Amino acid sequence: MRRIIGIGAAFAAAMTVTGPAMAAGFPDKDITFVIPYGPGGGFDTIVRKLSPVMQKYLPNKVNVVPKNIAGGGGKKALVTLYRAKPDGYQIAIFNMPGMLLDKILGQKTDYDIDKFTWIGRIAVDPYVLTASAKTGIKSWKDLKGKSLKYAITNYNSGSYVAGRILSEAMGLKVTFLPGYKGSAAISLSMVRGDTDVSLFNAASGAKWAEGGDIKLILALEDKSQWPKVPTVADAGHPDLSILSVDRYVGAPPGLKPEIRKVISEALMKTLADKEIQAWSKKTGRPVNPLAGEAAEQQLQKLAKFYARYKDALAKR
């Protein structure tokens, strides 16, 4: 299980980031924290929780202001950030690996994902594979040979990316059905029996399973959070524990190192803050921070892993 691990090490790394002296006078106005989706979802919730705490750790008294820029499965926000002035006054939360998919597939976008400046990682949220109780599926072994319907929001969603790779690796017959408006709509489709399986982050999966209409059947992590739910290693695919919802913070290309350092240190202090730690524990939302350069290296590692499944991810 990967929650709340390495906070001390990440914080220490943030404190020892090398570079020019702290940017004199930065920040001297409010910082906009862009959310690439509409209000109410997981990314929105996290940014709105972190923002007022983060502003406490900036060297000057300014506000960190959440701003929703929804559209195009997050692409509208990325274009906005990519074109913004690299002065540190606009940052955004990134949904990985979903936002790596266009690069992996060689699809044209109005931004280059490799050129963003990476401030740090907030969290790694492991997936759990679930099945509708109406399918009669009680174990991952029952998936073999069945034709399965899997609801997704769109083909750039993390759930699609992870679900496609999982089905390819395990040899499952899965039809992906896009157009659902979020995890609540997806879970409702499973409760009704309209769809059969889906991946949820651990907290959401546990929530939807409380009523018994949805079953947890496979944890995509090294150690299962649920004693009776096996892991992907138990299913013979230990490498698939890397499949998760990763939440990163980025800034426009060309951000000065000294400004990056200020924002990264504030983010790391925020994630180590007692209020955020208590909230993480209470809500089951993981916190797994990595400072700027370490986060950038981890993203490169993720990109290499997902690139192995380029052909599978190109399927529709």
User: What is the span of the domain harbouring residue 172?
Assistant: 126-241
**pLDDT above 80: residue 155:** yes
Nearest-angstrom CA–CA distance, 159 and 36: 16
Determine the average pLDDT of the residues in 54-81.
Answer: 95
Return the closest-CA partner of residue 118 out of 73, 86, 83, 77: 86
Q: Percent of the chain having pLDDT more than 70? A: 93
Answer yes or no: do 42 and 183 share one domain: no
**For residues 109-133, b (16+ Cβ closer than 10 Å) or e, as one string?**
eebebeebbbbbbbbbbbbbbbbbb
Query: Which residues are 184's β-sheet partners?
Result: none
In a domain, 140, yes or no: yes
User: Residue 65 is part of a domain; what is its CATH number?
Assistant: 3.40.190.150
Nearest-angstrom CA–CA distance, 54 and 269: 8
End-of-domain residue from the set 241, 264, 283:
241
In a domain, 157, yes or no: yes
Q: pLDDT tens digits for 80-139?
A: 999 999 999 999 999 998 899 899 989 999 999 999 999 999 999 999 999 999 999 999
pTM: 0.82
pLDDT, position 16: 47
Number of domains in the chain: 2
pLDDT, position 10: 52
User: Residue 148 is part of a domain; what is its CATH number?
Assistant: 3.40.190.10
Q: pLDDT tens digits for 251-297?
A: 999 999 999 999 999 999 999 999 999 999 998 889 999 999 999 99
Answer yes or no: do 276 and 220 share one domain: no
Answer yes or no: do 40 and 175 share one domain: no
